[in-house]
């Protein structure tokens, strides 16, 4: 298996030699993922196995294809406690390479269509796409007990009290308590 950093690949050549390519991409190099990270660290590991998808009853014509597997731990912001949470991503996809959108109809449902640029693909862009598809919409710790309490704003009370304690200490407001007396007048 090749461990070369392959930015762009010629699809036909990769399929012709049934290439197995493994790449390691720094998370900071992904323009759509980097702004979501809590720190500038980590990498994504991906494996691609290129093959020819033969024509059959399900596939009208043979297509260049690849099996893609991506693994990463993304340092994201927990939306429950606003602390850092390491979100483990393990995603795999079957990709079918086509030249234009008109060919999407010939791609079987078991494969995701990928439109090539003059027969070439960016493996790093495919890795980023798979990470985006696998990311949770709302990242958070799996166990709420792992969430850390945030300190209170300056001048406020300490941040180590639970929400229930804070509610119990606050005076109860009854906005309509005096309404009955006012209605009698």
Where are the chain's structural domains? 8-146
What pairing do the DSSP bridges indicate for beta strands 120-122 and 8-10?
antiparallel
DSSP 128: H
Quote the pLDDT of residue 151: 52
Here the tokens at position 33 are 């993922």
pLDDT of residue 152: 47
Task: Classify residue 49 as exposed, middle or buried by CB count within 10 Å of its CB (0-12, 13-18, 19+).
Answer: middle
Nearest Cα residue to 47 out of 16, 68, 29: 68
Residue-level pLDDT at 88:
96
Q: Give pTM, 2 decimals.
A: 0.72
**pLDDT score for 169:** 62
Cα 138 to Cα 45, 75, 77, 141, 150, distances in angstroms: 23, 13, 9, 10, 18
According to DSSP, the β-strands at 120-122 and 63-77 are: unpaired
Cβ within 8 Å of residue 138, ≥6 positions away = 79
Count of positions (residues) in the chain: 185
Determine the pLDDT at residue 146: 84
pLDDT, tens digit only, all 185 positions of the chain: 444 445 678 888 899 999 899 999 999 999 999 999 999 889 999 999 999 988 665 556 788 999 999 999 999 999 999 999 999 999 999 999 998 888 888 888 889 999 998 888 999 999 999 999 999 999 999 888 888 765 545 655 444 445 555 556 667 777 777 777 788 77
Which of 129, 61, 72 lies closest to 95, judged by CA? 129
At 85 the pLDDT is 93
């Amino acid at each position: 298996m090749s461990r070369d950093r392959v930015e762009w690949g010629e699809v036909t050549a990769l399929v012709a030699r049934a290439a197995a390519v493994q790449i390691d991409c720094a998370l900071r190099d992904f323009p759509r993922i980097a702004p979501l990270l809590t720190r500038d660290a980590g990498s994504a590991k991906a494996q691609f196995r290129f093959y020819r998808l033969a024509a059959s009853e399900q596939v009208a014509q043979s297509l260049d294809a690849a099996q893609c597997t991506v693994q990463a731990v993304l340092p994201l912001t927990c939306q429950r406690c606003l602390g850092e949470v390491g979100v483990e991503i393990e995603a795999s996809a079957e990709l079918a390479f086509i030249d234009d959108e008109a060919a999407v109809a010939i791609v079987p449902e078991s494969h995701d269509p990928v439109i090539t640029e003059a027969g070439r693909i960016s493996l790093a862009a495919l890795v980023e796409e798979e990470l985006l598809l696998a990311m949770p919409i709302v990242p958070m710790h799996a166990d709420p007990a792992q969430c850390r309490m945030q300190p209170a704003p300056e001048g406020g009370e300490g941040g180590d009290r639970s929400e229930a304690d804070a509610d119990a200490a606050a005076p109860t407001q009854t906005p309509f308590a005096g309404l009955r007396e006012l209605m009698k007048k």
